[in-house]
Amino acid sequence: MNHEPAPRRTLYGQYAGFTTRMVAFVLDRLIVIGLLAVLVPAWRFVEDSFSLDLFTEVVGLSLVGAVPLVFESLYNIGFWLVAGQTPGKRIMGVRVIRADGRRVGLRNAIVRYWAYWISTFLFLGFLWILVDGRRRGWHDKLAGTVVIYSWPEVDLSARPRVDRAWLQRLTGRE
């Protein structure tokens, strides 16, 4: 009889799950906040040093007010376009691609960023990842993207076992 081995499952290329993506999301927010904490005082320093006139100051102040939003959108859209992943996603080993497997285009990236705000409403768009068949949030659906794991293969067929009896003894539930 021909016993063919079971097909080898790997994590690499699978749809990424909620926790990994949320950790990546939080890391990105922290990175953005960190960068802004440097950029905004730097702009103020430039303003003070060059004694800018009233018009320039007004423009500068409005820029400072809009900086967080503009900077965050550029950060996300730029990284998705160039690498398919922001630094936070890179750390967590996930990548954004189009649902058909191609790289993210400008339109996808822009829609995805602004759809983040829709997903943020009651957090439902993000929670959708937990129940969706392809682990897509609302922003993924709107932008036509998916998020996949992008780190080395994991052999899911090799299944070392944890001794259940040992676990039961450990938790005192014999």
Q: Which two tokens stand for residue 114?
A: 């602004």
Residues for the chain: how many in total?
Answer: 174
Least Å distance between CB 119 and other proteins?
A: 16
- The reply to whether 123 sits near other proteins by the rule CB under 8 A is no
Stretch that binds other proteins, among 45-53, 68-76, 94-102, 117-125 (CB under 8 A): 94-102
- The reply to whether 151 sits near other proteins by the rule CB under 8 A is yes
- The reply to whether 156 sits near other proteins by the rule CB under 8 A is yes
Contact (CB, 8 A) for 93 and 87: no
Buried b (16+ CB within 10 A) or exposed e, 113-142: bebbeebeeeeebbebbeebeebbbbbbbb
Stretch that binds other proteins, among 32-40, 42-50, 52-60, 125-133 (CB under 8 A): 125-133
Cα–Cα distance for residue pair 162/166, rounded to 1 Å: 8
- The reply to whether 164 sits near other proteins by the rule CB under 8 A is yes
Contact (CB, 8 A) for 74 and 106: no
3-state secondary structure of 91: helix
Q: Which of 76, 85, 86, 108 binds other proteins (CB under 8 A)?
A: 85
Site for other proteins in 30-69 (CB under 8 A): none
Looking at the Cβ atoms of 40 and 91, the one nearer to other proteins is 91
- The reply to whether 3 sits near other proteins by the rule CB under 8 A is no
| Amino acid residing at 134 | R
* Contact track, other proteins, 12-31, x by CB under 8 A: xxxxxxxxx--x--------
Stretch that binds other proteins, among 49-57, 64-72, 88-96, 137-145 (CB under 8 A): 88-96
3-state secondary structure of 65: helix
Question: What is the number of other CB atoms lying within 10 angstroms of the CB of residue 154?
Answer: 13
